[in-house]
């Protein structure tokens, strides 16, 4: 399985560090030190996808789209995970979408979603927006997750999937890390919303007329 680590100890940054190993990739992957400096990293469990909330060594597992127990509501439907929603958007067939939504686990949803052919014509242009919408739903609909994400402050967030150089850092640490960037974007959006709400409440309190 993967190990989830949060790395910002300077003593471990000099020569890089082994961030995780995977049942999918026997070779351990060394992420260069500059990526680890002040960075919050997370990955996926390569076996059961069930360790995110209980594994003491996986403090950032809640960030994963596979994290169990965090359903989202979008378009009037309940999706068991972000992954379920994302994969369901790969098809316009109502029956196929429903089959994906009802999958017993996120990995199952992904496997079924990968069978959707052809993909929507504009999928490559819209998939980031689809993921952005799902992530916002997840962290705005679950207060405990919102608190955890906001608690990362201004730290860089990086997804460590050794086979994915688009959503994550990939095998060499030079991937696009779209997932990490979207999480940071979501974090900033939530922070602004809380700030605006606080300002509005303060203004209402200042302008309130007390009647005795």
Q: What pLDDT is recorded for position 208?
A: 64
Q: What is the pTM of this model?
A: 0.74
Q: What pLDDT is recorded for position 203?
A: 63
pLDDT digits (tens, 9 = 90+) for 104-161: 999 999 999 999 999 999 999 999 999 999 999 999 999 999 999 999 998 888 888 7
Q: Which of 182, 189, 168 is nearest to 41 (CA)?
A: 168
pLDDT digits (tens, 9 = 90+) for 63-106: 889 888 999 999 999 999 999 999 999 999 999 999 999 999 99
Q: Which of 28, 43, 34, 29 is nearest to 14 (CA)?
A: 34
As beta bridge partners, residue 74 has 77
In the DSSP assignment, the letter for residue 71 is -
pLDDT digits (tens, 9 = 90+) for 2-28: 333 333 333 233 233 223 222 223 333
| Residues 6 or more apart whose Cβ sits within 8 Å of residue 15 | 33
The residue ranking higher by pLDDT, 32 or 162, is 162
Q: Which of 192, 142, 189, 184 is nearest to 42 (CA)?
A: 184
Q: What pLDDT is recorded for position 184?
A: 94
């Amino acid at each position: 399985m993967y190990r989830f680590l949060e790395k910002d100890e300077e003593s471990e940054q000099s020569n890089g560090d082994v961030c995780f190993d995977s049942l999918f990739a026997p070779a351990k992957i060394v992420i260069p030190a500059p990526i680890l400096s002040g960075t919050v990293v997370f990955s996926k469990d390569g076996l059961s996808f069930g360790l995110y909330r209980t594994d003491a060594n996986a403090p950032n597992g809640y960030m994963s789209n596979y994290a169990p127990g965090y359903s989202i509501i979008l378009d009037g439907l309940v999706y068991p995970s972000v992954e379920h929603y994302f994969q369901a958007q790969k098809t316009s067939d109502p029956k196929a979408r429903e089959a994906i939504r009802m999958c017993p686990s996120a990995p199952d949803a992904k496997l079924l979603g990968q069978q959707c052919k052809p993909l929507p014509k504009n999928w490559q242009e819209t998939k980031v927006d689809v993921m952005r919408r799902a992530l916002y739903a997840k962290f705005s609909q679950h207060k405990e997750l919102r608190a955890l994400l906001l608690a990362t402050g201004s730290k860089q967030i990086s997804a460590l999937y050794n086979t994915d150089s688009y959503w994550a850092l990939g095998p060499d640490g030079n991937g696009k890390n779209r997932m990490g960037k979207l999480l940071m974007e979501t974090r900033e959006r939530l922070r602004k919303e809380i700030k605006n709400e606080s300002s509005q409440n303060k203004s209402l309190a200042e302008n309130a007329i007390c009647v005795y």
